[in-house]
Every structure is written in C-alpha cells, then in structure tokens.
Amino acid sequence: MISSEKRAKIIWHCRRGMLELDLILNRFMEKQFEFLSSNQVEAFEKLLSCQDPDIYAWLMGYEQPKDRELIDIVAIVKHHGNH
C-alpha cells in the first residue's frame, strides 16, 4: 500500500500536456492503480518520467518502449486505461 502523499504525487504527474494522455492516465489511476504491485507502481512512475510524445506513441500502439518494465506497464495501462 502506498501512502496518500505518494499517491497524490503520482496523480499530479498524470497531468500531462496532452488532453488524450490526461484522460487515459487519470482513468487508469481512478480504476486500476490500487491493484498494482509495488514493482508496477515503480514502473508507472518511470513511465510518467518519459516525454509525452513517447508515452502517447506507446499507449496508442504506434511504437513500443525498449525497456521491459515500460513494455509491461504500457500494456497494463492500455488494457485498463481505455475502458
């Protein structure tokens, strides 16, 4: 279980410069974030440290990250963030 302070920080980092990313990431936070393991939370934070165009391309399936952790968390967000 993560602290409410850390969760608030992650929610803040979900606010991006692209509306499309805001919608996907915030929906994911609302519906699925609590079910992530601690390793997946770390991977999600790593994802949020990436540039918006990269995150968008990964989530839309135009490109795939090279990092295995990012590949896994992108797949989770794609599956749950769009429902």
pLDDT in tens, 41-81: 999 999 999 999 999 999 999 999 999 999 999 999 998 86
Q: How far is CA 2 from CA 15, 40, 44, 82, in A?
A: 19, 12, 13, 24
Q: Which of 24, 30, 25 is nearest to 13 (CA)?
A: 25
Contact status, residue 52 vs residue 16, Cβ threshold 8 Å: yes
CB burial of residue 67 (10 Å; 0-12, 13-18, 19+): middle
Q: How far apart are CA 79 and CA 27, in angstroms?
A: 11
Q: Going from the N-terminus, what domains does the chain have, and what CATH number goes with each?
A: 4-81 (1.10.150.250)
- pTM equals 0.91
Please state, for a pLDDT cut of 90, what percent of the chain lies above it.
Answer: 87
pLDDT of residue 80: 83
**Is 60 exceeded by the pLDDT of residue 83?**
no
